[in-house]
Amino acid sequence: MALAVIAAAGLALVLVAATGIGGLPGLLVPLFVCIAGVGLVQPNSAVAAMQPYGQIAGSASALLGTLQFVVGALAGILVGVLDNGTALPMAAVVAGCGLAALLLVQLLAVRSAPQAVQG
């Protein structure tokens, strides 16, 4: 659900950046929603990604952190390459990342039935 909100806010960010409607406050509102959504998604996705690797949790955490920095660096490079003096490249990369995350979760996430707690 939070990824869908992030993707929708990213698309709204592109719309505002492309049209200029609302000026800076118009950009800040959807950008805030995107960033706040990351605060909901990131901890939960980290737990889900590391859960099967309890025996090597330190290595799994290091790999996850490295991947986050690599993707962030690539996104920053992409914004720089697309730079045209407006907020549109930043908005497009934010929206693209949100949509890609939503799509990847829908395509790749393993859905399993909840397991009963043994005890």
Q: What is the pLDDT of residues 42-57, one digit of tens each?
A: 998 888 888 888 899 8
Which pLDDT tens digit goes with each residue over 72-89? 999 999 999 999 999 999
DSSP code of residue 55: G
CA 32 → CA 13, 37, 76, distances in Å? 10, 8, 18
Contacts of residue 54, defined as CB under 8 A and 6 or more positions apart, other chains included, come to none
Helical ranges in the chain per DSSP H: 2-19, 23-50, 57-82, 88-108
The pTM for the full model equals 0.84
